[in-house]
């Protein structure tokens, strides 16, 4: 059992989770804390972030503070905050994100500028700034980890009015492959988790009520929406020893949505 536990342990590691106060980010942070890591969480709402960190600190080591990846100045300030709090960084979870929904005819410039600045440019810039710490913390056979949070909409041609969001996540997926190729020899693994429907603040408009959740679940091949334990297992796999040989992967966490097609091409699907 101890050998199995060691595959998913992050004890002694230091991690940063952006957007760590709510939703997927909080699940990632809570999981890493419970598995033994010292976790720094940052989000735009500093007070909320500190409150969540205090709650998670009951399970282990967690610190929360403000951090905004929407601007270059914000990313640089967050970088400096991290450097002041720790000399090493083993895990970076790029979770901070935003979205924008509107009909095609009304999808304006601001909808692209806002979403891409956070979901793509901010993610890249923070990763660039913290890469020296990640490289310095890597050990032979134990690489540092970058885990980006993508989306099934970055794989499927499905926007539902969130054109810039879906496009930004497709870009994150490809950037993951580029960085994985570039930094593997320097001891940093870079992967992405691409979630399908999870009941979070960002998806509350679609999944906040039981009838809506039931409808969404009916479209998923496995017959349900994602649960916190699905994310917990995925983040521990990619950050623990068990995922040390994995880099450049886009892990679909979508219940089969990304591979769903009609069951048959040349005859009618069975009812």
Q: Where are the alpha helices (DSSP H) in 104-145?
A: 109-116, 123-137
User: Is pLDDT at 271 greater than 60 in this prediction?
Assistant: no
CA distance 62 to 57: 5
The answer to whether the beta carbons of residues 25 and 42 sit under 8 Å apart is no
pLDDT at residue number 213: 75
pLDDT at residue number 124: 99
Percent of the chain scored above 90 by pLDDT? 79
Of 40-54, 130-144, 254-268, least confident by mean pLDDT is: 254-268
Task: Find the mean pLDDT for residues 150-172.
Answer: 94
Task: Find the mean pLDDT for residues 153-182.
Answer: 95
User: Is pLDDT at 154 greater than 60 in this prediction?
Assistant: yes
Name the pLDDT band for 158 (thresholds 50, 70, 90).
confident
Higher pLDDT pick, 271 / 237: 237
DSSP 8-state symbol, 141: T
Task: Find the mean pLDDT for residues 118-129.
Answer: 99
CA distance 191 to 93: 10
CATH assignment of 2-256, among 3.20.20.240, 3.30.420.40, 3.40.50.720, 3.10.20.880? 3.40.50.720
CA distance 150 to 260: 18
Token pair recorded at residue 167: 């496009």
Residue (of 89, 94, 30) closest to 62 by Cα position: 30
Residue (of 232, 206, 205) closest to 220 by Cα position: 206
pLDDT at residue number 202: 60
Angle between helices 163-183 and 123-137 (to 10 degrees): 30
Q: Check if 165 is active-site.
A: yes
Name the pLDDT band for 219 (thresholds 50, 70, 90).
confident
Name the pLDDT band for 2 (thresholds 50, 70, 90).
confident
Name the pLDDT band for 6 (thresholds 50, 70, 90).
confident
Name the pLDDT band for 268 (thresholds 50, 70, 90).
low
Token pair recorded at residue 210: 């039981």
Percent of the chain scored above 70 by pLDDT? 92
Name the pLDDT band for 269 (thresholds 50, 70, 90).
low
Which of 8, 124, 163, 165 is the catalytic position? 165
User: Is pLDDT at 94 greater than 90 in this prediction?
Assistant: yes
The mean predicted confidence, pLDDT, of the chain is 92
Name the pLDDT band for 263 (thresholds 50, 70, 90).
low
User: Is pLDDT at 84 greater than 60 in this prediction?
Assistant: yes
Q: Does an H or E element contain 53, and which?
A: helix 46-56
Task: Find the mean pLDDT for residues 196-221.
Answer: 74
Dihedral, CA atoms, 157, 226, 260, 94, nearest 10 degrees?
A: 40
User: Is pLDDT at 64 greater than 70 in this prediction?
Assistant: yes
User: Is pLDDT at 217 greater than 70 in this prediction?
Assistant: yes
pLDDT at residue number 159: 81
Q: Does an H or E element contain 239, and which?
A: helix 228-239
What b/e sequence results for 213-228 when a residue is b if at least 16 CB atoms lie within 10 Å of its CB, and e otherwise? beebbeebeeeebbee
Using the Cα atoms of residue 32, residue 34, residue 37 and residue 41 in order, give the sign of their dihedral: positive
The answer to whether the beta carbons of residues 265 and 207 sit under 8 Å apart is no
Angle between helices 228-239 and 23-34 (to 10 degrees): 60
């Amino acid at each position: 059992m101890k050998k199995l536990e060691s595959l998913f342990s992050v004890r002694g590691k230091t991690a940063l989770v952006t957007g760590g106060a709510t939703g997927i980010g909080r699940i990632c942070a809570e999981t890493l804390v419970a598995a033994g890591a010292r976790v720094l969480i940052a989000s735009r709402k500093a007070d909320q972030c500190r409150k969540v960190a205090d709650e998670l600190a009951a399970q282990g080591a967690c610190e929360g503070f403000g951090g905004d990846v929407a601007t270059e100045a914000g990313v640089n300030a967050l970088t400096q905050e991290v450097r002041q709090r720790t000399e090493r960084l083993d895990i970076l979870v790029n979770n901070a994100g935003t979205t924008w929904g509107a009909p095609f005819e009304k999808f304006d410039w601001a909808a692209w500028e806002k979403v891409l600045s956070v979901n793509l440019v901010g993610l890249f810039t923070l990763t660039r700034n913290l890469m020296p710490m990640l490289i310095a913390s890597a050990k032979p056979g134990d690489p540092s980890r970058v885990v980006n949070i993508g989306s099934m909409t970055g794989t499927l041609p499905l926007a539902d009015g969130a054109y810039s969001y879906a496009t930004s996540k497709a870009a994150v997926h490809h950037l993951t492959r580029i960085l994985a190729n570039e930094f593997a020899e320097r001891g940093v693994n870079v992967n992405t988790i691409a979630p399908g429907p999870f009941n979070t603040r960002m998806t509350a408009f679609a999944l906040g009520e039981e009838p809506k959740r039931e409808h969404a679940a009916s479209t998923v091949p496995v017959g349900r929406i994602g649960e916190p334990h699905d994310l917990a297992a995925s983040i521990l796999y990619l950050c623990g020893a068990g995922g040390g040989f994995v880099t450049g992967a886009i892990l679909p966490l979508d219940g089969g949505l990304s591979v769903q097609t009609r069951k048959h091409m040349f005859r009618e699907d069975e009812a």
